[in-house]
Amino acid sequence: MEQIRPKNYLVESILVTMCCCQPLGIVGIVFASQVNSRYNAGDYNGALQASKDAKKWIYWGFGIGLVFMLLLFAFYAAMFFLGINQGLFNEF
């Protein structure tokens, strides 16, 4: 019985690793690699499970990266308005 290959999320996990600076993306790559290995070995359910795991890790990595960046941005914005309130920019 020929099953379709589960989506392997390799490109997505490489992007999360490289662009969100997330070690979680590495875990995504491990699961993404397992999708193809298991599928080629005929283990369809295992491949499907690995695909789901890869997706989960990528979403978490992306989410955490995004939240971290937003928090950092909020931090700098807060510092900026604090500076305005204290008159740091008055001389310009």
Partner 1 sequence: MNFKYVGFVILAIALVLIYIFINPSEVDFLPKCPFYFTTGLYCPGCGSQRATHQLLNFNFKGVIAQNILFVVCIFILIYHITITVLNTYFKKNYFNYLNHAKTGWIVLIFILVFWISRNIPCYPFELLAPK
**Binding test (CB under 8 A) with partner 1, winner from 3, 18, 45, 82:** 18
Site string for partner 1, 48-87 (x = CB under 8 A): ----------------xx--xx--xx--xx----------
CA 75 to chain centre: 22
Name, in order, each residue with C-beta under 8 angstroms of 55's C-beta and a sequence gap of 6 or more: 7, 9
**Interface with partner 1, residue 42, by CB under 8 A:** no
Name, in order, each residue with C-beta under 8 angstroms of 28's C-beta and a sequence gap of 6 or more: 9, 12, 13, 16, 17, 54, 57, 58, 61
Interacting residues toward partner 1 by CB under 8 A: 5, 8, 10-11, 14-15, 17-23, 25-26, 29-30, 32-37, 39-40, 64-65, 68-69, 72-73, 76-77
